[in-house]
Amino acid sequence: MPSAWEIEDLKSTNDWCFEIDESDGNLLRDSIKSLFEQDRDLLSYSPSEFDFGSSWEIIEKALLEAHHRKGLSIVRGLPREDLNQDEFRLLSWAIGLKAGVARPQGLASQYISAVQDAGTDYRAANGRGYSSNAELDFHVDVADLTILTCYNKAKSGGQSIISSGVTAHNYLIKERPDLAEIAYQHFYFSRQQEQAPDEKPFYSLPLFEEESGNLFCNWNRNRVQSAQNIEGVPELSKLQNETMNFLDEILTRPELMYTMYLEPGDIQIINNYRMFHSRTGYLDFENDLQKRCLYRLWLAPPDSIRLPESWKDFYRSVEPSTVRGGIIGQSYDKTCSDFDKTQSKFMSMKINTS
């Protein structure tokens, strides 16, 4: 299985690395510059407005690689230098519009997030990693695919880390089958106080589960520990703690943990039910225009596969090719539902978000 990679596998082939050449990049830049309007709502753009030229074939291959093969891909060469931060945000949004149905990402039901230090306390009951500069635990995001585009690197740190959940699962079974049994049982995760009105403040699902011959991986230590302070969540057992510690030990083995810096103009695509990701802490430049800034999309792709039934509470739908995942949050209004409907129609996907 290509997603069961180790570092040597990533180094021995570049079939997961892609590049947009300069002339395609220029075409993309011109398309974005002609469509950008400072006050236009991103949700009002249509995928057919953007001209990606042949760069779309490259991005499509990268999406396929991340979604159905290695679980991870990189595309280099977005036209970063010629675009300001808002134009680059529109470019990032346009990629999501063409690739699937973007999902909301938090309390404010925002469909695209600037991954930027806003001073958030990651370990707080309502803490989130993307708006802090902290070192993060290995985790999955709440959608089939995450697309990150890099506008600025940090002054120091902010290294991207990925470890294959599939590989970790294989080692767990081989080395500690007793703990693998525990990992197949439900763990409780906090929603970090971002639950929608119809959701509980926590959800539960196993760390690993098989469905229709596919393995589904899920992990987020910060949310498991945060859930321990929520009424109604059972206390972690000694064996559960041991499983968590052993899993993190596997994930951080040098031969399994892939580290890289995203450079301005890079896209990173991750399959969240196969990969666990993380990031080192970072220091920003003084100048606001130079501070670390990535744009993040959570995506329901049209060619998604069936999830285990236990994921229903987490993704709200387990059916293949449906609009699923995301953090619906507390500002999901008619504009959001209209966007979901229009975009799912464009993608010929079924909608099932509430």
By CB under 5 A, name the binding residues for Fe ion: 141
Q: Which helix (H) or strand (E) holds 101?
A: strand 101-102
Contact 346, 335 (CB under 8 A): no
Name which of 301, 292, 343, 341 is nearest 324 in CA terms: 301
- Min. distance of Cβ 272 from Fe ion in angstroms? 8
Residue 116: how many CB atoms within 10 A of its CB? Answer: 18
- Min. distance of Cβ 105 from Fe ion in angstroms? 10
Angle at 209 (CA atoms; ends 205, 210), nearest 5 degrees: 145
- Min. distance of Cβ 320 from Fe ion in angstroms? 23
Q: Which residue is nearest to Fe ion (CB)?
A: 141
Contact 181, 239 (CB under 8 A): no
Altogether, the residues listed in the chain come to a count of 354
Judged by beta carbon, residue 50 or residue 273, the one nearer Fe ion is 273
- Min. distance of Cβ 200 from Fe ion in angstroms? 22
Chain-centroid distance, C-alpha 219: 13
Judged by beta carbon, residue 29 or residue 67, the one nearer Fe ion is 67
Judged by beta carbon, residue 95 or residue 179, the one nearer Fe ion is 95
DSSP state for residue 220 in the 8-state scheme:
B
Judged by beta carbon, residue 141 or residue 284, the one nearer Fe ion is 141
Judged by beta carbon, residue 117 or residue 141, the one nearer Fe ion is 141
Judged by beta carbon, residue 136 or residue 182, the one nearer Fe ion is 136
- Min. distance of Cβ 97 from Fe ion in angstroms? 21
Q: Which residues contact 106 (CB under 8 A, 6 or more apart)?
A: 113, 128, 194, 327, 329
Contact 327, 142 (CB under 8 A): yes
- Min. distance of Cβ 107 from Fe ion in angstroms? 16
DSSP annotation string for 328-350: --S---HHHHHHHHHHHHHTT-E
